[in-house]
A and B are shown apart, each in its own frame.
Chain A
Amino acid sequence: MNALKRVRRAIIGPPRDVSDPQVFHHVSLIVFLAWVGLGADPLSSSAYGPEEAYKQLGPHAHLSIILVAMMAVTILVIAIAYSNLIQHFPGGGGGYLVATKLLGNRVGVVSGCALLVDYVLTITVSVASGCDQVWSFLPAKFLPYKFPAEFVVIAVLIVLNLRGVRESVNVLAPIFVVFVITHAIAITYAIATHFHALPAVFRDAHNDLTTSVHTMGWWPLILILLRAYSLGGGTYTGIEAVSNGVVMLREPRVRTAKRTMTLMALSLAITAGGIMFGYLLTNSRPAEGRTMNAVFLTALFGHWGGLGTAFVIISLVSEAALLFVAAQAGFLDGPRVLANMAVDSWMPHRFAQLSDRLVTKNGIYVMGFAAVAALIYTHGDITTLVVMYSINVFLTFSLTELGMSRHWIKDRAKEPRWKSQLAIHGTGLVMCLCILIITTLEKFSQGGWITVLITSATIALCFAIHRHYEEVRHSMRRLDEILLATPVPNDSTPSDLEPSLPTAVISVSSFSGFGVHQILSIHKSFPGYFKQFIFVSAAVVDSGNFKGAEEIGHLQEKTENDLKQYISWAQSHGFRASYRMVMGTEAVRSVEDVCRELAQQFPRAIFFMGRLIFREEKWYHRLLHNETPHAIQRRLQFEGIQAMVLPIRVLE
């Protein structure tokens, strides 16, 4: 291994073996790590969510007690709703899968695209907000370096995620723990030291409520509360992360996911509610150039001298660092949604491919580069980013809740618990719609429009991609109908191969007209030359089937059955035939290895691969269809092995 490979191994790590039954155990997350990896996103939103809601109350700060209750109920309802969702969809997929299954493909794409944009913005918001926190400790002259530092953080997170899910979470776990401990101490201390003042706080809240009702009436007061509640909606973002990432959790996955969800909901409700209640207890008021959390922590520990200052700094630095950890949710779940959409042909298929570290590498790059683009567009302005972010989150939440509500109404005859479930999802739907509508109307001109525009453009792109894949599929179906309907003679030839005979080695995927077309093309080009065939297929483990040892087993079985069908087909036409199967995450490398071995065993072998040919080659064909055949051909030819690519026409 040369020096570069050693560096690469050190940074990215050695390749993983997908056929190893222990591989899922090694890459999956236990409850605690899942809480760190997926819980950091919602928990970190307590750095800006409660502050935004509290500021909206203006002079009615005492009403924040009602907001704390509303916040806790909302977290509870959304968490219960998503726990039910995990139970119903143990294969994961979150908002995209739920909307697809329960509301139809088209609504599913809307939900999926909203989620994708949401995860890109999760990365941008978290990194920008984290750097804001760090830079608030630095002198003003260092401010010009904040923006480049945000670039570096995103690049480092990309590299970290290319190592693998579990490794990236392990690195970030200590930051999460420090955040939880410091904030738990701060909230407990705030309540304990103001315990004697609690009756007065509740009395003042009651007085504030009564006075406000008398002076303004009920409706304006309700509107003030609803506005503060909606604009603090950033607090609830990220709760859905567990349902999207169920497949990366340790078995039994549903139990692990539910426990993670419980931990996440409890920690978020206590932290966000506790912080907002703490503002009220310490009488914290917004201050220029300082976050509300900084004001709150200084009010609590500022009089402790050096120790207090150190605690405030540690708490705020952990808050900043947690925001970087929160960006992880975007890198963990974004590529997964992208992969699910790629499996369903809404996105280019290559997004479903796994790297040798079993991560969806292309998805990680896309999320990272899109986050950088969002950063450049907004110049890291948190206010604009949070608005853009909240709209998409609540669009997905609303569609998910709508889907689940529809499901319980439709299946009420079969489900005895339908009334209680409908109550939960219906309440969730009303809450999410309320936040979505108020945020969109209030903030449309302040960045809301760009989210709507980008999400709509992504949806349009998905439909265009899907249409193209459908056209190709239709053409391939016609090929299947024509070629697989060819009558098969009954006489069979023994399968023993003779190494000295001319051999055609054909790279195939599933048993289809595409593969049969390759055999017929070989016959047409080399009439009577080849007496024996070897079919080579790679069982490619991608994001769609990397869900457990059972799924890998099914993939292996299916690939083997397809190859056996080719053998039967060839033997029934009087040819000697055999097959080779290989398993891996990358078709090119896997097939290349097998072909190299075969070239040694069968010196007169020629290798064939089929490739789709369009009447008019378009620039986007290279993005939507891979160059696998050419890549294999290039590599084999470089080794001195004869390899040919056979064109298969796509009739549009």
Chain B
Amino acid sequence: MLGVLGFWIVAALLVIGVHACVHPMSAIDCDIAKLVVIVGVSFVYMRFIAREATVDHGLFVGAIWLALSIVAELATSAHSGHGWFVLIGSPDSVLRNVLMFAWIFAPSLFARHRRVAEE
């Protein structure tokens, strides 16, 4: 579980960093860069830490990452008194759905250990 939490922290910090650097220039580029970061961190986690992980595990990790992102955004919004949507994306942006998908499903994309069924 520490690995799951640790990699979420890394991903969240990178996403915040990307937001600070890229968002002032272009909102769309910023969302795309965030997407790359999330997929990249998922790749590193699944290929180097959870080497034999199945799709189930990837999905579980993705659900935890999105839940943690929601909690982080809720806590920051409550603390700052205004909406803070850096991790999942702005509610007005179409790319918000894509970012949510990325948080949940990106780890499953790199699951190596697939079982094959027989008819």
Contact = CB atoms under 8 A, between A and B. Distances in A.
Is this pair of chains taken from one and the same complex?
yes
Interface of A: 2, 4-5, 7-8, 11-12, 141-142, 144-145, 147-149, 151-152, 155-156, 158-159, 162, 349-350, 353, 361-362, 365, 376, 509, 538, 540, 586-589, 625-628, 630-631
B70 A152 contact: yes
B53 interface: yes
Given A4-B57, A350-B117, A588-B116, A151 B104 contact: yes
Contact of A628 (B91, B100, B118): B118
B66 interface: yes
Contacts of B88: 148
Given A4-B57, A148-B69, A626-B118, 6 more contacts: A2-B52, A5-B52, A148-B100, A152-B66, A152-B67, A158-B63
Interface in B81-107: 82-83, 85, 88, 91, 97, 100, 104
B83 A144 contact: yes
Given A11-B60, A148-B88, A155-B66, A4 B117 contact: no
Given A4-B51, A156-B63, A538 B118 contact: yes
A609 B72 CA distance: 52
Interface string B54-75: 1111011011001101100110
B115 interface: yes
Nearest to A142: B74
A353 B117 contact: yes
A144 B84 CA distance: 10
Contacts of B85: 144
A353 B118 CA distance: 8
A151 B100 contact: yes
B25 interface: no
Interface residues of B, number: 33
B74 A145 contact: yes
A155 B63 contact: yes
Nearest to B54: A8
A627 B57 contact: no
A155 B58 CA distance: 11
A8 B57 contact: yes
14 contacts: A4-B50, A8-B56, A141-B82, A144-B91, A152-B63, A158-B59, A350-B117, A353-B117, A365-B55, A540-B118, A586-B118, A625-B119, A626-B119, A628-B119
Main secondary structure on A side of the interface with B: helix
Interface of B: 1, 50-57, 59-60, 62-63, 66-67, 69-70, 73-74, 77, 82-83, 85, 88, 91, 97, 100, 104, 115-119
A155 B82 CA distance: 28
A349 B119 contact: yes
Nearest to B82: A141
B116 A4 contact: no
Nearest to A159: B60
A121 B83 CA distance: 31
A628 B116 contact: yes
B117 A626 contact: yes
A159 B51 CA distance: 19
A167 to B, nearest CB: 14
A162 B66 CA distance: 19
A159 B59 contact: yes
Given A588-B115, A626-B116, A155 B57 contact: no
Contacts of B117: 349-350, 353, 362, 586-588, 626, 628
A155 B54 contact: no
A376 B115 contact: no
B66 A148 contact: yes
Contacts of B115: 586, 588-589
Nearest to A158: B59
Q: Select the residue from A7, A12, A540 with max chain B CB neighbours within 10 A.
A: A7
Contacts of B66: 148, 151-152, 155
Contacts of B50: 4
B56 A588 contact: no
A7 B77 contact: no
A376 B66 CA distance: 16
B19 to A, nearest CB: 16
A349 B117 CA distance: 9
A155 to B, nearest CB: 4
Those 8 A-B pairs whose CB atoms lie nearest each other, nearest first: A587-B118, A155-B63, A631-B116, A144-B91, A349-B119, A353-B117, A628-B118, A350-B117
Contact of A4 (B53, B70, B118): B53
A159 B50 CA distance: 17
Contacts of B100: 147-148, 151
A266 B7 CA distance: 49
Contacts of B53: 4, 8
A376 B118 contact: no
Contacts of B62: 155
Contacts of B60: 11, 159
Nearest to A361: B56
Nearest to B71: A145
A625 B104 CA distance: 28
Contact of A159 (B56, B69, B83): B56
Contacts of A141: 77, 82-83
A377 to B, nearest CB: 10
